[in-house]
Amino acid sequence: MPIAFPMKEHLGSIETEALAQIAAATHERALDDARVAVLGKKGSLTLAAAGIKDVPKEDKAAIGQLLNAARAAITAALEAKQAALREIADRAALAGIDATLPARGLPVGSLHPLTQIRDQAIGILRRMGFVLAEGPEIEDEFHCFDALNTPADHPARNEKDTFYFDSGKLLRTHTSSVQIRTMEAQAPPIRIIAPGSAYRRDEIDATHLSVFNQLEGLYVGRDVSLPDLKGTLEYFFRELFGTRTEVRFRPHFFPFTEPSFEIDVKLQIQGQAPRWIEVAGCGMVDPAVFDAINKSRKDQAFDPQTTTGFAFGMGLDRLAMIRWGIKDIRLLIENDVRFLKQFA
């Protein structure tokens, strides 16, 4: 069989052929074929290496060296070629990608503006130690009016202004009924807020809804005073509208608080001069309310001699309208996507 000299030649031609095949490979598959053809189990170099046993003893070392050199050269070429081919392939894979094409969009949802303003208001008040309370929207006259010191012939207690049911119950005209519900169930100290719906028999137009949203607050304890009411509500509205917001308290009248005030904040609505805008009503709980609660509870937990408190209420729809410059309140119940998606 062949001897050293032809072996040397043979190795040379294997290497030349292999390098040519590697160089000619245009994709990784062809490169793999080349690798198998040379370095595989039955590859040309593998077979040639098997032939070394026939090489004369004195040539073995030299041929062995040649063999190793050929394998190293071929392996290096394979690796270099693979890297080159991958780079080309990677480049090709990225070539068609246009990052400026529009997105594969996902649906975008939103929280209703009322939820957002309510959550903001609740967030502020909870930080101030108020807890949430609720009550029924289908109420009785006691909780909606009588206990809130509203006389039987008060204009609000009128079928033209309030929705009644045949049962004699009514749709609560304010969330203040939750004050009564809470005080019936708990003794002082009470520090609650009650967001919820209220109903008035108003024709629906740009500024009125027959069902609207309020946020009620009540703090009852010992030595609760006008300074507490003022400090609490000033702080609240400054947190809501900005720390420099001016807040003023105008004397007003509500049957269930005395003294009573309406709260204005000075705000600049886009495109208008800053002006005072009414945002809430408030006052010190009228002792007559405590009397009614004690009577209902059949105890003196709310002794008017020692118990004082303040209450406040605000319209959340109105706050949302002020906050975002919403001109028509009906937008808040129409759920037009063109409106809602602005709040995403």
Partner 1 sequence: MNISLNWLATHLDLAGKSIKEIDDLFTFAGVEVEGIVVEGITSEKIVVAQVMEAVQHPHADRLKVTHVDAGEGSLRQIVCGAQNYKVGDKVPCALPGTALPGGFTISETVMRKVESRGMLCSAAELGLPAGEDGLLILPADAKVGTPLKQMYESDVLLELEVTPNRPDLLSHRGMARELATLLKTPLKPLEIPSRSVGVAPTASIQIEAPAACPLYTAVRLSGVTVKDSPAWLKQRLEAIGQRPINNIVDVTNYVLHELGQPLHAFDAAKLTGGIVVRHAAEGEVFLALDESRHGLTPDDLLISDASGRALALGGVMGGADSGVTGETTEILLESAYFTPSNIRRTARRTALSSDSSYRFERGVDPAGVLAASALAVKLIVETAGGTAAATTLVAGAAPVLTRPVALDAAKLDQLMGGAIALAEAEAILTRLGLTKRSDATWEVPSFRADLQRHIDLVEEIARVHGLDNVPSRLQGCFVPASASDAAYDADMVLRRRLAALGLHECQTIKLIAAQQLADALLSRPLLEGDVIRVKLPLSEDHAVMRPSLVPGLIASAVRNVSQQVKSLRFFEMGRVFRNAGGGKAKDQESDALAILLAGPGAPFGWARSERNADLYDLKGLLSSLLGGREVRFAPKERPGFVLACDIKADAQVIGVFARLAPARERELDCTAPVYVAELDLTKVRKLLVGINHVADLPQFPGSSRDAAMELPLATANAQLENVIDKCAEPLLTAYECFDVFTDSTGARLPVDRKSVAYRFHYRAADRTLKSDEVDAAHQRVLGALGKDLGVKFR
When asked if residue 259 is in the footprint of partner 1 (CB under 8 A), the reply is yes
Length of the chain: 344
Q: Decide whether 49 or 316 has the Cβ nearer to partner 1.
A: 316
DSSP assigned state of 26: -
Residue from 59, 136, 184, 297 in contact with partner 1 (CB under 8 A): 136
Q: Decide whether 8 or 323 has the Cβ nearer to partner 1.
A: 323
Q: How many residues bind partner 1 (CB under 8 A)?
A: 90
Query: Binding string to partner 1 for residues 139 to 178, with x set by CB under 8 A, is what?
Result: ------------x-x-x--xxx--xxxxx-x-x-------
Cβ neighbors of 205 (< 8 A, separation 6 or more) are: 330
Q: Decide whether 45 or 320 has the Cβ nearer to partner 1.
A: 320
Judged by CB under 8 A, the chain residues 31 through 70 that form the site for partner 1 are none
Residue of 38, 43, 49 whose CA lies nearest to 73? 38
Spatial separation of the C-alpha atoms in residues 37 and 288, rounded to whole Å: 104
Token pair for residue 200?
């008035």
When asked if residue 119 is in the footprint of partner 1 (CB under 8 A), the reply is yes
Spatial separation of the C-alpha atoms in residues 286 and 304, rounded to whole Å: 9
Token pair for residue 63?
């041929």
Spatial separation of the C-alpha atoms in residues 301 and 186, rounded to whole Å: 9
When asked if residue 107 is in the footprint of partner 1 (CB under 8 A), the reply is yes
Smallest separation (angstroms) from partner 1 to the CB of 342 = 11
Smallest separation (angstroms) from partner 1 to the CB of 164 = 5
Residue from 10, 59, 85, 235 in contact with partner 1 (CB under 8 A): 235
When asked if residue 104 is in the footprint of partner 1 (CB under 8 A), the reply is yes
Residue of 73, 68, 83, 82 whose CA lies nearest to 16? 73
